[in-house]
Amino acid sequence: MNLTLAEKILLAHTDKEEISAGEFVLADVDLCLGNDITAPIAIKEFEELAPERRRLFDRRKIVLVPDHFTPNKDIKSAQQCKLMREFAKKYGIENYFEIGRMGIEHALLPELGFIKPGDLVIGADSHTCTYGALGAFSTGVGSTDLSFAFATGKCWFKVPETIRFIYYGQLRKWVGGKDIILYTIGDIGVSGCLYKAMEFSGEAIEGLGMDERFTICNMAIEAGGKCGMIEADEVTYRYIKQSKGGKEIKGIERWKADKGARYSEVREYDVSKLKPLVACPHLPSNVKPAEELADVRLDQVVIGSCTNGRLSDLRISAEILKGKKVHPDLRLIIIPATQRIYLEALREGLIEVFIEANAVVSTPTCGPCLGGHMGVLAEGEKVLATTNRNFKGRMGHPESEIYLASPAVAAASAIKGRIAIPEEV
C-alpha cells in the first residue's frame, strides 16, 4: 500500500491497518488550538458536558492564543479573552499565551517548537494549515470539533485525496513564497483543491527557507485545500532545532510520501520566469503581475499577519524602505507576527527603519487582516496587504478594496503611493 504524506500521517493516528482516500476515520490528535474568537464557543460547549466527562484529554496538548482582537479592542473582545483566561486557570492549561508573551497563533506555535513532522494538529482557525510546512497534517476545524477534541483527544476526518504540485527553476530577486502560492491559486482557482491535501515539492520549494514555506502552506485554504504539506528536510530540522533552543531533537521520524503513492492530480510549474504578483479584488485567484497595476492608487498598506509577518518578511520590507519615506497620501501599518520577531527586528534596527519611514508599528495581532482593529478600511479605500484574503468587506467597509501581495511589493507600494514593484524604488 503506497500512501501519500497526508494518508500516512492520518493512518498513524488511527488503530486501522490501512487507509484510503474518501473514507472517514476517527484519529488521535497531537495538538488542539483555539483563539479568542473560536475557543470561547468550544469552552462553552465543553462546560455543558456531563460533570464526569468534563475532563481534558491532555492539558499539555491544548494551546490557547488570544490574537484576533487583542489587545482587547472593546468590551466584547475583553469578555472573550477573560473566558479563555479563566478556562486555562481552571483546568491547568499552561499553554495559554497572554499578550506580552504571545504572537499570531500560526507564527507562534512553530516558533515555540510545538509542531514536528508527522504530527496531527487541529485548530479552530482555517489557517491552521500553516503547520504543514513542517511536514505535519494540520487543518482547521469548527469550535464544536475543538470542544470534542478537548474532551477526547480525537477528531473525525475524511481522508483527503492529494494533489501534488512540483515547482522547477530558480526564483528571480524579489519573488518568493507569496508569489508562488498566488500563482498557484490563480491557476487552479479558489475551489480547485476543495477538501484535498496540497503537497508542495520540487527544487524551487527545496530552495526556500521556512518563512517562505509557511506562507505557501498558510494559503492552501484559499484554494479550498484541507491542508498544505511540504516534506520535512534539513531546512525543516534546522528550524525545529532552533525552536528548541539549539537542542538536538531525538526521535523525529523522517515522514515522506511513499514512492508510487496515488495522487488525484500532479501539476508542474516552471517558476524561473515568475514575476511579483498581486491578487486583485475580490478573490485570491484574481491574480495579475504587479507591474500591470501601476495605476491603482492606495490609501493603506499592511505588512504582517500569519502569512507574512515573520522576520524575513520584515527584513525585506526594511531593505526597500531604508532611507525612504511612506507616500504622504498613504498609511503604512507593520505588524510583527510574534513578540520574539518584534524584539529581533528591534535589535536589528528594522523598527527604526520603519518609524523613520513614517510607518506605524503594532504589537502582534491579527488586527486588520479580518477587519478587526488596527487598520479597518473606510468606504472606497484601497489597501495592499501581505495578508491572505481579499473577499468583499474582509478588512472593513464592503465598498473598500483589498489587494494581496508580498512584503517586497507592499514596501515598494507604500513608498510610491500606488501598486509598485521594488525595482521602481
The rounded distance, in Å, linking the Cα atoms of 412 and 310 is 18
Query: Do 30 and 164 meet the contact criterion of CB atoms below 8 Å apart?
Result: no
The rounded distance, in Å, linking the Cα atoms of 288 and 275 is 10
Q: pLDDT tens-digit profile of 150-178?
A: 999 999 999 999 999 999 999 999 999 99
- pLDDT at residue 242, as a whole number: 85
Positive or negative torsion for Cα 175, 387, 384, 299: negative
Judged against a pLDDT cut of 80, whether residue 57 lies above it is answered with yes
- pLDDT at residue 149, as a whole number: 96
Query: Do 138 and 132 meet the contact criterion of CB atoms below 8 Å apart?
Result: yes
What is the CATH number assigned to the segment(s) 278-424?
A: 3.30.499.10
What fold is seen in the domain 5-268? Aconitase; domain 3 (3.30.499)
Q: How confident is the model at residue 350 (pLDDT cuts 50, 70, 90)?
A: very high
- pLDDT at residue 54, as a whole number: 87
Query: Do 278 and 290 meet the contact criterion of CB atoms below 8 Å apart?
Result: yes
The residue type found at 313 is D
Residue 358's contacts (CB-CB under 8 Å, 6 or more residues apart) are: 325, 326, 332
Q: Output the CA–CA distances (angstroms, integers) from residue 282 to 187, 207, 327, in the order listed.
A: 16, 31, 25
User: In the chain, what are the domain boundaries?
Assistant: 5-268, 278-424
- pLDDT at residue 244, as a whole number: 74
Q: pLDDT tens-digit profile of 294-325?
A: 999 999 999 999 999 999 999 999 999 999 99
Assess whether the region 5-268 and the region 278-424 belong to the same CATH fold.
Answer: yes
Mean pLDDT of the chain: 95
Q: How confident is the model at residue 388 (pLDDT cuts 50, 70, 90)?
A: very high
Judged against a pLDDT cut of 70, whether residue 250 lies above it is answered with no
Neighbours of 344 (CB within 10 A): 16
The rounded distance, in Å, linking the Cα atoms of 82 and 40 is 9
Rg (C-alpha) for the chain, rounded Å, is 21
Q: pLDDT tens-digit profile of 192-233?
A: 999 999 999 999 999 999 999 999 999 999 999 999 999 999
- pLDDT at residue 53, as a whole number: 86
Give percent of the chain above pLDDT 90. 92
Q: What is the mean pLDDT of residues 179-194?
A: 96
- pLDDT at residue 255, as a whole number: 86
Q: How confident is the model at residue 246 (pLDDT cuts 50, 70, 90)?
A: low
- pLDDT at residue 337, as a whole number: 97
Query: Do 385 and 371 meet the contact criterion of CB atoms below 8 Å apart?
Result: no
Q: What is the mean pLDDT of residues 363-388?
A: 95
- pLDDT at residue 52, as a whole number: 81
Residue 164, beta-bridge partner list: 199, 266
The rounded distance, in Å, linking the Cα atoms of 343 and 363 is 11
Picking from 329, 129, 158, the residue whose alpha carbon sits closest to that of residue 229 is 129
Q: Output the CA–CA distances (angstroms, integers) from residue 193 to 25, 133, 228, 252, 362, in the order listed.
A: 20, 17, 10, 29, 34
Q: How confident is the model at residue 243 (pLDDT cuts 50, 70, 90)?
A: confident
Query: Do 119 and 138 meet the contact criterion of CB atoms below 8 Å apart?
Result: yes
The rounded distance, in Å, linking the Cα atoms of 285 and 269 is 16
- CA neighbours within 13 Å on the CB side: how many for 362? 25
Q: What is the mean pLDDT of residues 367-372?
A: 92
Judged against a pLDDT cut of 70, whether residue 251 lies above it is answered with no
- pLDDT at residue 245, as a whole number: 67
The rounded distance, in Å, linking the Cα atoms of 353 and 119 is 39
